[in-house]
Amino acid sequence: MVVGMTLTCLPVFSQEGEDTTALLGLPGDNLDLYAVLTLFQKSKTIEEFEKSLNEEKTKSITWI
C-alpha cells in the first residue's frame, strides 16, 4: 500500500524546481504578450495595430 501511494505521488513532485521563465536566446524572448494583446484589442484595424506596435513609445511597454 505504501509503495502504491508513493508511486501515485511521484508525478506531483516531478514538476517542482523547473524554471519556466528560461530564455531561449531567440528574438522575442522579452516580448510581453499581454501588452501586445492589450494593444491589439484597443486597435480598430490591423494597420493601426501595426503602426502602434512599431511606435517608439510602445516598444518600451511591449518589451520587458
Domain assignment present for residue 3? The answer is no
Domain assignment present for residue 7? The answer is no
Per-residue pLDDT of 13-39, as tens digits, reads 555 555 556 677 888 788 888 989 999
Domain assignment present for residue 38? The answer is yes
* CA pair distance 29, 50, nearest whole angstrom: 19
Domain assignment present for residue 49? The answer is yes
Backbone angles phi, psi at 31, to 5 degrees: -75, 125
Domain assignment present for residue 14? The answer is no
Domain assignment present for residue 6? The answer is no
pTM over 0.75: no
Q: Which three cell numbers stand for residue 54?
A: 512599431
pLDDT at 47 > cutoff 90:
yes
Domain assignment present for residue 23? The answer is no
What percent of the chain stands above pLDDT 90?
Answer: 25
Full domain range(s) for residue 46: 28-64
Domain assignment present for residue 64? The answer is yes
The number of distinct structural domains making up the chain is: 1
Pick the residue with more confidence: 41 or 12?
A: 41
